[in-house]
Amino acid sequence: KILILDFGSQYTQLIARRVREIGVYCEIWAWDHDPEAITRFAPRGIILSGGPESVTETASPRAPQAVFNLGVPLLGICYGMQSMAVQLGGKVESGHAREFGYAAIDLSAVSCALFNGLDDHADSPDTAGGRTRRLDAWMSHGDRVTMLPPGFDLAASTESIPIAAMLDSKRRWFGVQFHPEVTHTRQGGEILRRFVVDVCGCATAWTPAGIIADAIASVRAQVGTQRVLLGLSGGVDSSVVAALLKRAIGAQLICVFVDTGLLRLAEGDQVMATMAEHMGVQVIRINAAPRFFTALAGVSDPEAKRKIIGRLFVEVFDEEAGKLSDVRWLAQGTIYPDVIESAGARTGKAHVIKSHHNVGGLPERMNLRLLEPLRELFKDEVRRIGVELGLPHAMVYRHPFPGPGLGVRVLGEVRAEYVALLQHADAIFIEELRKAGLYDTISQAFAVFLPVKSVGVVGDGRAYEWVIALRAVETIDFMTARWARLPYEFLELVSLRIINELRDISRVVYDISSKPPATIEWE
Ligand code: XMP
């Protein structure tokens, strides 16, 4: 296993995902984690991440000394390389300007286990005169290493920075100024693979089948013959937990599905069809829609709506759970990004999308212990094991859906008839996206119901009906997002279908706001 020490870079999770894609287990810890725990963790190699600060400031983060005493291979990326440089006796200076974007890296003649044989421009015409090999790499930095620490050799340079990579081949310590974890660095995956597999000697056993086998063994060891309760939401995480627990403990698993009436069209039935019929999971379905609509009547403030939905969800779930006897465990779909103890999280920089399904009070009252079988997994790993466990691909790769559901997509007061209109409009939009092959090219798409009336002409008559807004965005982390450039013809088709098929809608608009300043959801 590999340890990644986080200096607060926005790319740290990406490093971990890349390492795991290679098939090697890794964890992310903050740079100031207890050094003794690092020694106990006994990683085969350590990666020092990038970070937003400058090593030229005396109060900025440094790698713990334990990292250099363990005798394992090290890879410092960007800030991680700079902190290695200053800590090991080299020099770093603040650059004159930030460098951001592509850079051509010239690999030096020195043999480097990470770069040997790599060349992004092998067929370029100037190969003749003994040209150095080059890589296209992604840079994002202000500072630069200006003097190598003792024992290090130069491994690469660019036109603007003489020391773009360094290595100490004896100690197997490497530093790269560029970011191998981003896909813009074409050989980045190969460089990381060479580090964790060739240099550190890690086996590539972290595969979906391996992850499932581990999780099953550990769940069985934890719960024995006791019964486990799971709240099914229709989302990916809780569905994968259900499928996994079904494999691990069979009939000891009992699922409660609270249908709030605020899910997508026919989603409640789909959850039952997939989980209960297809996967053979025992599911108690509670049709709580009337209670949600009653509680939401007359409420138009978004935060108030969120609170009501969250509170009522917990209430309904608790009531049902209270009827069950001899349940000892509460399973939750917590995933790794929620638990990472990262530098970013503590400084408030990392993002956390909070689930509103916080059944926090229940475990104490019912004396339940928490079971979180996805705690170590990233979303893409959760999806891969979901498919491996037999969940339908379309379900596992669905766009994210907010906890409060359509409650925040019907703007203002939530009424059953508005929700019904929205569900149909949304279903038309999504169906057409799938048909056009666009669904998987965008990150999130949905319809929003605007409680605004607008005039139109229908046949010979005058219509005065509601408005639907369509939203589609492209994003990597949902922190920033760009509105999707959907083809005009496609938008026209969706608009026509919605207005023709839904009598109460007379106008469709497309949202061309990016985030920031707008958010993805409208409320
Ligand atoms: P915003 O609107 O903040 O959305 O740009 C970012 C992502 O978070 C989702 N979202 C939520 N998810 N409970 C959730 O579980 C919520 O209250 C909530 N609000 C927004 C949104 O769908 C998008 O993917």
* Ligand 1 pocket residue status of 521, Cβ below 6 Å: yes
Q: Tell me whether residue 515 is in a domain.
A: no
At 346, the pLDDT band (50, 70, 90 cuts) reads low
Which residue in 135, 30, 17, 12 sits closest to 77, CA to CA? Answer: 12
Residues 30 and 171 occupy one common structural domain: yes
* Ligand 1 pocket residue status of 356, Cβ below 6 Å: yes
* Ligand 1 pocket residue status of 519, Cβ below 6 Å: yes
The 3-state secondary structure of 4-50, one letter per residue? EEECCCCCHHHHHHHHHHHCCCEEEEECCCCHHHHHHHCCCEEEECC
Residues 77 and 17 occupy one common structural domain: yes
At 478, the pLDDT band (50, 70, 90 cuts) reads confident
**Which residues neighbour 90 within 8 Å (Cβ) at sequence distance 6 or greater?**
84, 145, 146, 147, 148, 149, 152
Q: Tell me whether residue 521 is in a domain.
A: no
Residues 68 and 144 occupy one common structural domain: yes
Question: Closest ligand 1 atom, CA of 306?
Answer: 17
Average pLDDT over residues 348-370: 61
* Ligand 1 pocket residue status of 444, Cβ below 6 Å: yes
Residues 26 and 106 occupy one common structural domain: yes
Residues 226 and 320 occupy one common structural domain: yes
How far is ligand 1, taken at its centre, from the CA of residue 220, in Å? 34
Query: What is the residue with the minimal CA distance to atom 18 of ligand 1?
Result: 402
Q: Which of 179, 424, 465, 523 is catalytic?
A: 179
pLDDT at 428: 98
pLDDT at 298: 97
Q: Which of 26, 33, 78, 202 is catalytic?
A: 78
What is the domain range of residue 331?
208-396
Question: Closest ligand 1 atom, CA of 357?
Answer: 15
How far is ligand 1, taken at its centre, from the CA of residue 353, in Å? 7
Tell me the CA end-to-end span of the chain in Å, nearest whole number.
42
Residues 371 and 449 occupy one common structural domain: no
Q: Tell me whether residue 194 is in a domain.
A: yes
pLDDT at 277: 87
In the chain, the number of structural domains is: 3
CA pair distance 488, 154, nearest whole angstrom = 52
Annotated binding site for ATP: 233-239
pLDDT at 345: 64
**393 tagged catalytic:** no
Average pLDDT over residues 194-223: 97
How far is ligand 1, taken at its centre, from the CA of residue 521, in Å? 6
Query: Which of 260, 353, 398, 471 has most ligand 1 atoms within 8 Å of its beta carbon, as the pocket-test mutant?
Result: 353
* Ligand 1 pocket residue status of 520, Cβ below 6 Å: yes
Query: Which of 260, 308, 379, 520 has most ligand 1 atoms within 8 Å of its beta carbon, as the pocket-test mutant?
Result: 520
Angle, to 10 degrees, between the axis of helix 236-249 and the axis of helix 208-223? 70
The residue among 29 and 477 whose pLDDT is bigger is 29
- Taking only the tens place, the pLDDT of each residue in 117-170 is 899 888 776 655 567 889 999 999 889 999 999 999 999 999 889 999 999 999
Query: What is the residue with the minimal CA distance to atom 11 of ligand 1?
Result: 402
* CATH number of the domain to which 429 belongs: 3.30.300.10
Domain termination residue (choose one: 147, 174, 199): 199
Question: Closest ligand 1 atom, CA of 399?
Answer: 24
Contact, 470 vs 508, CB < 8 A?
Answer: yes
Percent of the chain with pLDDT over 70: 95
* Ligand 1 pocket residue status of 171, Cβ below 6 Å: no
Q: Tell me whether residue 48 is in a domain.
A: yes
Residues 367 and 482 occupy one common structural domain: no
Query: What is the residue with the minimal CA distance to atom 10 of ligand 1?
Result: 402
pLDDT at 496: 97
Average pLDDT over residues 378-396: 95
**267 tagged catalytic:** no
pLDDT at 125: 64
CA pair distance 175, 167, nearest whole angstrom = 6
Question: Closest ligand 1 atom, CA of 400?
Answer: 24
Question: Closest ligand 1 atom, CA of 355?
Answer: 15
The string of DSSP codes covering 402-466 is -TTGGGGTB-SS--HHHHHHHHHHHHHHHHHHHHTT-GGGSSEEEEEEEEEEEEEEETTEEEEEE
* Ligand 1 pocket residue status of 402, Cβ below 6 Å: yes
Which residue in 144, 166, 146 sits closest to 155, CA to CA? Answer: 166
pLDDT at 170: 97
**Which residues neighbour 319 within 8 Å (Cβ) at sequence distance 6 or greater?**
none
* Ligand 1 pocket residue status of 515, Cβ below 6 Å: yes
* CATH number of the domain to which 333 belongs: 3.40.50.620
Residues 485 and 453 occupy one common structural domain: yes
Classify each residue of 40-56 as buried b or exposed e, where b means 16 or more C-beta atoms within 10 Å of its C-beta.
Answer: eeebbbbbbbbbebbbe
* pTM for this prediction: 0.85
Domain termination residue (choose one: 154, 181, 199): 199
Residues 179 and 229 occupy one common structural domain: no
How far is ligand 1, taken at its centre, from the CA of residue 266, in Å? 21
At 158, give phi and psi (nearest 5°).
Answer: -125, 180
* CATH number of the domain to which 131 belongs: 3.40.50.880
Using the predicted structure, report yes or no on whether residue 349 has a pLDDT greater than 60.
Answer: no
pLDDT at 319: 92
* Tokens (6 digits) for 399: 């766009």
Residues 26 and 163 occupy one common structural domain: yes
Query: What is the residue with the minimal CA distance to atom 12 of ligand 1?
Result: 402
Question: Closest ligand 1 atom, CA of 444?
Answer: 24
Q: Which of 27, 181, 267, 320 is catalytic?
A: 181
* Ligand 1 pocket residue status of 403, Cβ below 6 Å: yes
Average pLDDT over residues 169-196: 96
Question: Closest ligand 1 atom, CA of 401?
Answer: 22
Q: Tell me whether residue 519 is in a domain.
A: no
At 356, the pLDDT band (50, 70, 90 cuts) reads very low
Using the predicted structure, report yes or no on whether residue 350 has a pLDDT greater than 60.
Answer: no
Average pLDDT, whole number, for the chain?
92
CA pair distance 148, 84, nearest whole angstrom = 10
Domain termination residue (choose one: 374, 396, 418): 396
* Ligand 1 pocket residue status of 247, Cβ below 6 Å: no
- Taking only the tens place, the pLDDT of each residue in 7-66 is 999 899 999 999 999 999 999 999 999 999 999 999 999 999 999 999 999 899 999 999
Residues 258 and 360 occupy one common structural domain: yes
- Taking only the tens place, the pLDDT of each residue in 443-459 is 999 999 999 999 988 77
* Ligand 1 pocket residue status of 238, Cβ below 6 Å: no
Contact, 505 vs 429, CB < 8 A?
Answer: no
Using the predicted structure, report yes or no on whether residue 358 has a pLDDT greater than 70.
Answer: no
Q: Tell me whether residue 350 is in a domain.
A: yes
Q: Tell me whether residue 87 is in a domain.
A: yes
* Ligand 1 pocket residue status of 306, Cβ below 6 Å: yes
Contact, 507 vs 463, CB < 8 A?
Answer: no
* Ligand 1 pocket residue status of 353, Cβ below 6 Å: yes
Query: What is the residue with the minimal CA distance to atom 21 of ligand 1?
Result: 402
Residues 425 and 312 occupy one common structural domain: no
**78 tagged catalytic:** yes
Q: Tell me whether residue 63 is in a domain.
A: yes
Query: What is the residue with the minimal CA distance to atom 4 of ligand 1?
Result: 520
CA pair distance 282, 228, nearest whole angstrom = 11
How far is ligand 1, taken at its centre, from the CA of residue 408, in Å? 10
Does ipTM come in above 0.90? yes
Annotated binding site: 233-239
